[in-house]
Structure 1
Amino acid sequence: MAIPLIPDHLAKALKYLMSKQRQNGGFCAYKMEYLEEPNSRDTFFAVASFQLLEAAIPDRDRVYVSDGSGRICPDALSLTGY
């Protein structure tokens, strides 16, 4: 059974998630002065959170994860079945 969210809490959760998306489409949960590099773990959990909250993923066409070699895997959303 899902826990109902108060609309204000939902809005704050979505605002937080959106603030973690970087310009290139990936997500990064930490923020340091010179290091804001999206990573696959944060991107995966951000996308899963948007889906759990039944919210649209912002800039969905730009969401990606790196495979660790510097190459980009543009179909990151396939990790979650969406």
Structure 2
Amino acid sequence: MAAALAMYNELIRALEHAHYTRYFSAAGLAVLLYDHLLTLDVEIKYVWRAPPSLPKIAFLFNRYMVLGCLLAIACSMCGFSVTFSDTE
């Protein structure tokens, strides 16, 4: 009986940690979006108007790939399930 109670307590703790992870991910996404909004005018002025080059492409790839990944993670962790199907 004590082993079952210990396993139950460990399961509850793991679920709480997963719940905390969702909030930390949402906070990180909010900070990143805020940073993107604060620096968008400078980015347009200095990066988007610059001639094409490898550093420009690497910067833009890094900047928007991280945002895309965090959005995908946030959508997968939000608890909603969106499916597109022809059978409905």
| TM-score tier after normalising by the smaller chain length | 0.3 to 0.5
Instruction: Give the structure with the larger helix fraction.
Output: 2
- TM-score, normalised via structure 1 length: 0.35
Instruction: Give the structure with the larger strand fraction.
Output: 1
- TM-score, normalised via structure 2 length: 0.34
Question: Which structure has the higher relative contact order (CA within 8 Å, separation 6+)?
Answer: 2
Find the structure with the greater CA-based Rg: 2
